[in-house]
Amino acid sequence: MASSGQVVAAAAVLLLMQLQTVTSATFGARDPPPPALREAQAACVKYLGICENRLHQYNNSVYPTDQDTMCMVRCAGIMVGFWDDCQGLKLDGLANLFPALAANDRVRYQIMSCAEKRIATCPPQDTCARAYNGFRCFLDAQKGGFGAKDMQPQQSTPPQPFDAQEFIRSLSICAKLQRIPKDRRDLYVQGVFPNDDKTRSLIRCVGIRTGLYDDEQGPNIALLYSLFGAGQSESEFRRRANLCIDANQPLLEAQDKNAQAYVKLYRCFADQISALVRANANAMA
């Protein structure tokens, strides 16, 4: 006959197994986001300086309630088009990611009704919390099972070659992320990027989003050559780029990531970037 101690131990083991089951069901991995959203999340984690371990959670559609995650959702939402600081949650952007949502009026109304209520409870100046709470309404509706089979992530398409239009689009998106004032945006359209806090942050954002720059690796010379290297050999282009980067390195503080990006990406390719922007100024939002 089992002793009272054995009975208690067996009950404890059973309780622990039940708790593990509940925990895994509540916090376990879910269906991963579509490729476009995963790419935006990766760029935002890098740009915002969030621990890269968090990306594993986001890529399993797990979004904890903390400030880093809220700001990551805002950043990714602006990049892929489901959030705007002035317009709020944009269902068309979500429908581009999850096509089944486009024709489901009932669910669209459900999400927007929820988002309006939740966003209204957030401080107007806290755009990260507003974006996160709006996005949670979509996640909650999706978790409830609407159109589950239709809402699976679509197969990724081959990446498009990097071009000037993508650079300009990234410039517009990063200007929204940084809340760049109109007087600065007017300068950018002219190809002028002054050395100030907002502009340095903008350049780093554009570089990370396009893959032209990385905080650890610096400028992506091969990609920059594909964009700006017409008429010269890649070896000569790389030699000149490295000369500029090396010459400026001693003047920079390692901790100032925005200044690093501004000098290495913009200052060393200022003529090319300015010419590209002026030639495509009409495309800037």
Give tens-digit pLDDT for 184-204.
999 998 999 999 999 999 999
Determine the pLDDT at residue 149: 37
Least confident of 78-82, 183-187, 228-232, 265-269: 228-232
Nearest one of 216, 215, 224 to 242, comparing CA atoms: 224
How are beta strands 88-89 and 83-84 bridged, if at all?
antiparallel
What pLDDT is stored for residue 249 in this prediction?
Answer: 75
Domains of the chain: 35-144 (1.10.238.20), 164-283 (1.10.238.20)
pLDDT given for residue 276 in this prediction: 87
Q: What is the mean pLDDT of residues 114-140?
A: 90
Average pLDDT, the chain: 81
DSSP string across 35-81: HHHHHHHHHHHHHHT--THHHHHHTTT---SSHHHHHHHHHHHHHHT
Per-residue pLDDT tens for 201-229?
999 999 998 899 998 888 999 989 888 88
Please state, in angstroms and rounded to a whole number, the distance separating the CA atoms of residues 233 and 250: 28
Residue for token pair 């579509």: 34
Answer for the pair 188, 171: CB distance below 8 angstroms, yes or no: yes
Residue 81 has pLDDT above 70, yes or no: yes
Tokens of 261: 């990006």
The mean pLDDT value for 57-74 works out to: 93
CA distances from 239 to 62, 86, 235, 267 (A): 44, 44, 6, 16
Q: How is residue 155 written in tokens?
A: 């197969």
**Do 212 and 268 form a contact (C-beta atoms < 8 A)?**
no
Contact 72, 48 (CB under 8 A): yes
Q: For residue 79, what are its two tokens? A: 């990049």
Confidence check: pLDDT of 17 > 70: no
Residue 14 or 235, more confident: 235
